[in-house]
Structure 1
Amino acid sequence: MPKVAYSDADRERIRTALITAALERMAQKGTQHTTVEEIYRSVGISRTFFYTFFPTKEDLIVETFYFQQPRILAYAQSLMDDPALSWREGVCQFLMSCCYGEQNGIAVMTLEEQQMLFRRLSPESYQVFREKQASLFGTLLKIFGVTADRETIGLFTNLSLTAMVFRRAVPENLPFLVPEAADAAVKFQIEAIADCLERLKNGQSAPKDKE
């Protein structure tokens, strides 16, 4: 007979399994092409039971991004602690791994996926997402030895996500750019971000808008 009662430990185990399955698929295929059905089937539960954990697909998506944050931070720290890498090499390798997330088990949203998620999140959920995002990028800056004030966190977030979104946007969403030069452009962006962080690490101010 099917099991009708689950302990708290059982539910936590199943919830973690669902998020882990979602992360694996989202990293490979993106959030848009990852379905709820393939996730709950891979864990061996019913659709109805799945929705007792996550009321919507969007709830699962955001929880998956929250779930991977400690892994991302641990990875960044491991690069900074690697004696075989210089500081700059560690930063560049981290950003490169994120830009090519499907090769490294890191889920990164495309421009379309960000827009879709934004439209479907409640204002409260959106605010929590932004706060957790700021916390992630702020902690990354600290790992890289850069002072993480609000302005610097915002700059680093925008520069990093721009490189990641660009890499996934060519050529499908940016058809008039040159796809053969996409990898070189991503590398250039990453080097520019490393230049910026190095200046900040050495105590130079971030560039400000002209009034």
Structure 2
Amino acid sequence: MPKVGYSEEEREQIRRDLLTTALELMAAQGIQHTTVEQIYKKVGISRTFFYTFFPTKEDLVVETLYLQQPKVLDFARRLVSDPALSWQEAVTRFLHTCCYGERNGIAVMTTEEQQMIFRRLSPESYDTFRRKQMALFGGILEIFGVRANRDRIALFTNLSLAVMILRRAIPETLPMLVPEAVDETVRFQIRSIVDCLEEMKKES
């Protein structure tokens, strides 16, 4: 028989379990292929109870991406502080790992997933997401030793997300591009981003 009453501590633990479970599933199989049912069943609660925590799947997805941000920053710090890696190698490995997020436990939204989510976000939620996104990419730049101003953060955000999204979009979303060349395309774009960041670093 399902439990009727939960303490605040129990509710907070369930909320954390929902977020961590969602992140694991979304990183492994993509946001579109992760259902609310998969998440609440794995946590062991009912559909009705799930919706007392998150009114929509989109609200859960955004909160899950927020949960991931400190982990991404920690990963960047570990790479930069690794004495076995040069700066260029650390930045390259970071970007490459993010591009192949589903292999490395990092959830990266496809073009379709971005459109689906942001069509349903309130203006307030969208503004919050933008602020947190700017803080994330600004934090990554600072870890890489690059002074982060608004223009640099915007450029780095677009360059990074462009290569991640492109890698996920071939061939389903962008069928006219050549799938056999996708990995080399990613490597080329990452080298270009690293070169760009190195120039910024010199100017910092």
Give TM-score, length-normalised by structure 2. Answer: 0.98
Counterpart mapping for 1:42-53 below 5 A: 42-53=42-53
Counterpart in 2 of 1:57?
57
Per-residue deviation, residues 89-139 of structure 1 (Å, max 9, x unmatched): 000000001000001000000011111111111111111011100000000
Range 22-31 or range 52-61, more displaced = 22-31
Runs of at least 4 residues off by over 2 Å? none
Q: Could you tell me which residue of structure 2 aligns to residue 198 of structure 1?
A: 198
* TM-aligned CA deviation for residue 28 of structure 1: 1.5
Amino acid at match of 2:19: I
Amino acid at match of 2:164: M
In structure 1, the residue matched to 2:4 is 4
1:87 partner letter? W
Tell me the distance in 2 between the aligned counterparts of 1:63 and 1:191: 31
In structure 2, the residue matched to 1:169 is 169
Q: Does 1:118 align with 2:118?
A: yes
Q: Which consecutive unaligned segments of at least 5 residues does structure 2 have?
A: none
Q: CA deviation at 1:2?
A: 2.8
**Letter in structure 2 aligned against 1:110:** T
Whole-Å separation in 1 of the counterparts to 2:144 and 2:172 = 33
Structure-to-structure mapping, 1:87-102, within 5 angstroms: 87-102=87-102
**Structure 1 residues 2-11 or 183-192, which shifts more?**
2-11
Which residue does the alignment assign to 1:208? none
Residue 49 of structure 1: CA displacement? 0.5
| CA deviation string 1:147-197 (max 9, x = no partner) | 100000000000000000000000001111110000000010111000000
**Ranges in structure 1 where 5+ consecutive residues have no aligned partner:** 205-211
Query: Which residue in the other structure is 1:152 paired with?
Result: 152
Q: Secondary structure at the match of 1:92?
A: helix
2:138 aligns with: 138
Q: TM-score, structure 1 length as denominator?
A: 0.95
Structure 1 Cα separation of the partners of residues 125 and 114 of structure 2: 14
Q: In structure 2, give the amino acid aligned to 1:177.
A: L
- State how far apart, in whole Å, the 1-side matches of 2:88 and 2:5 are: 52
